[in-house]
Each structure stands twice: as C-alpha cells, then as structure tokens.
Amino acid sequence: MSEFLDLRNLLQETNATLERLEREIAQSPHDWSLALTAESLRHRQADLEDEFAFLANVNMLDVCDYRLIPAYNEDYPIISVTRALASFQELVTTVFDAYKTQPKIRARFTADIVAGSTLSFGYAYPGSLGFVLTMPNERMLFGESELDRAIQTIFEMAKAERPAQLAAYVARVGVASIRRLYAWSQSHAEFGLSVDIRWRRQREDRARLVVQKEELARLREIIDQASEEKTEPFTVTGELIGLDIGSGNHFRISVPLAEDVYGWISDSFDRASHYEIHGRFTADLIKRSKIYYSTEREDEWWELVRLRAVPN
C-alpha cells in the first residue's frame, strides 16, 4: 500500500508540473524546449496512470474518474466542487444500501454500508477539472456486485426523461435514492457544470456517464414533478368531535393516547343516518399519503368511510 501512496504523490507532482508547463507554453509557443519537456511529461503521466490503475486493481479497488466540465470558463467556486462530489458520494451510498439491505423512503446507513461505499481521493488532474477516486469492490466470479449494480443504476437513472421512468426505479432503490439523485443533479445544474464519469477496473471502462448541464437541469425538473401516492385502510375507536356532512364535508375524531384524526368524508359515507356528537364510534378510514421524490416532504390526509356506534 505504501507503493500505492507513493505513486499517487508522483502523479500529483507530475500533473502539477505539466499544468504549469502548459501555461508557460501558451505564453511562449515557439519555445521548443518547453514543448519537448511537456511531451516527455505526458508520456510519464500516461505510464504513471497505467501503473496506478494496475496497483488499484491489485488492491481490489475500482477507479472512478470524475471530470467536471464548466459552462464558460475554468473558474470553479470551491462550493461547486465540494457539493458535486459530496452529493455524488451520498447518491452512491444510498443506492448501494438499497441493494445491500432494502429500498428506503429515508436514508439511514449502518457503519458497514458507509465503509463499503466510501470513495477515497486518488489524485486530481487538469483538463477541465478531474478527480480520480477509488473504492473497494468485490471481484465476482459470476454476475455483479452490489456496487456494480448501484453504479449502473445511477447512470441509468441520470438519463431519465420522464417522471414515469424514475418511478419505475423506486421499487428497486427506494425514494431515498431518487432524492439523492435530485440533490446531485441540483449541485451540478446550480453551477452550470456538466460531468463525465468513468467507472474503471484497471484501464477498462466498466460504465460511463456523460451528462450535459442542460440535461442535469432537466433531470432536476423531472424529479420535481414525480411523486407517489399510497392508500392504507385503518380502523380506530374514539369520540366523534365534529361531523359536517354539508358544505364543509369534514370530520374529527378524538382517539385515546393519540392525536386527533381529521379529514374529509368519503362519497360512499352513509349521510342519511344519525350520528351523535361526543358519542363513541368505531371509524373505518382510509389514510392517503403523497410522497415527493425531490424532498423529505410528505402530505397525508384521512378519509372517513363509515361510523359504527360503540354500545354503552
């Protein structure tokens, strides 16, 4: 592993020197000695990258090449870089967790899930702004690891063009993953950053995603439009506090040791019968909830289907 760290430092130094030389060449384009030195450094850079990829594989690491592409110039506010990388890390961990354990509405991770999905810094390189990151990944004799599946799913979801396409992934990776996808697309769209991501083993691209800033802005809009509605039947017993079967069309029931239940009266409710206010009733209800994919927001409301008086 010390050899791996030494190699990483050599790459950083080589990239920094090459970047400085290219700036000098831009100022002195006819200085052939600078051009020859730069060409020699590029060969050294390529050799070091090959060696880095080889050692990463020996150490059971996959390589993620994450390149940021600005809209107009190469000015990168530090917050744009940190948000892009942090939101991508959260997205990877959330989708990995969904495959490793189960899909979730809200992201909650155990220590082993975090450890198994944490990207580590390898080195940075110029040419837009690129980061080479590493992550441990199982070498499967047959099939794919959970991490392989997570990366492939993320790249597929990032190309979604309709809310219905994203909704199809919820059963596989959960609402929490779609929310993390939203945060990631927002971090890029907000600063006008396109992205080119290569997931590699040695020098082979196992998966690749190239997304323009316009596509990421559109992805954010699509997730904003997406939501999921659920209905669940409930039966409660309590005191009828209010019942308006006229223009208000609402009800309220006080339930012992719980918050009051209130909402709307169903069209199928028997409005012809008599119901005594402050009487005890068993209520058949439907709980309706709407879960938004873009935020932690969740709306819920109750619908009263039937009231049955509880004998004294």
Q: Is the pLDDT of residue 21 over 80?
A: no
- Who's near 198: CB < 8 A, 6+ residues apart? 64, 65, 205, 207, 208
Angle at 262 between CA 226 and CA 179, to 5 degrees: 20
Q: How confident is the model at residue 220 (pLDDT cuts 50, 70, 90)?
A: very high
For the segment 265-281, the average pLDDT, to the nearest whole number, is 94
**Are the C-beta atoms of residues 56 and 63 closer than 8 Å to each other?**
yes
pLDDT of residue 263: 95
| pLDDT tens digits, one per residue of 285-296 | 999 998 888 887
pLDDT of residue 48: 84
pLDDT of residue 74: 64
| pLDDT tens digits, one per residue of 124-145 | 887 778 999 999 887 755 568 8
243 vs 9 pLDDT, higher one: 243
**% of the chain at pLDDT higher than 70:** 96
**Are the C-beta atoms of residues 159 and 207 closer than 8 Å to each other?**
no
pLDDT of residue 176: 94
pLDDT of residue 241: 95
| pLDDT tens digits, one per residue of 183-211 | 999 999 999 999 999 998 877 888 999 99
